[in-house]
Structure 1
Amino acid sequence: MTKTTRVQLELAERSYERLNLLKDKTEATSYAEVMKNALRLYESIIAQHDAGKRLCLRNPDGQITEYEVFC
């Protein structure tokens, strides 16, 4: 059994709407699942950034643009 800790969040209306939208778009079963996935992604991006790597996006035409996460 994994030990868990309960966390209560207070979100602005817009933040709650965004959380709800992400839950629907990703077909997550709970807000906790959305938050866990977001934390994994954020942690990974930070680790890659710390290793000197940069996140780039490619548009449908093939043009690549660096996405500046930490300006």
Structure 2
Amino acid sequence: MEMPPRSVERLKRLQEVTEAASYAEVMKNALRLYEALIDEVETGNEIMVKRGEHTIPLMIFAA
């Protein structure tokens, strides 16, 4: 898989932060999370983030 340098850096950082054994593990986990989020949005649910006392929508899927 070809990736731009910035994406490779992001992948490396995620591997370090999550202590994943490989880039493949990072990608597998990322796909699982992405799929779960898409499933929730497709069923009409909102993804929310709690920041301190405030709960706000996570707008990663906004058009």
Report the TM range for the smaller structure's normalisation.
over 0.9
Matched, 1:58 2:50: yes
Match of 1:32 in 2: 24
The number of residues matched between the two structures is: 62
Greater helix proportion? 2
Q: CA RMSD in A?
A: 0.6
Q: Secondary structure at the match of 1:15?
A: helix
> Scaled by the length of structure 1, what TM-score is found?
0.84
SS of alignment partner, residue 60 of structure 2: coil
Q: Pick from 8, 12, 15 the counterpart of residue 23 of structure 1.
A: 15
- Between the two proteins, what is the percent identity of the paired residues? 44
User: Structure 2: where are the runs of 5+ without partners?
Assistant: none
Point out 4+ residue stretches in structure 1 off by more than 4 angstroms: none
Give the deviation of 1:70 after TM superposition.
1.5
Q: Relative to total residues, which structure has the larger strand share, 1 or 2?
A: 2
Structure with the greater alpha carbon radius of gyration: 1
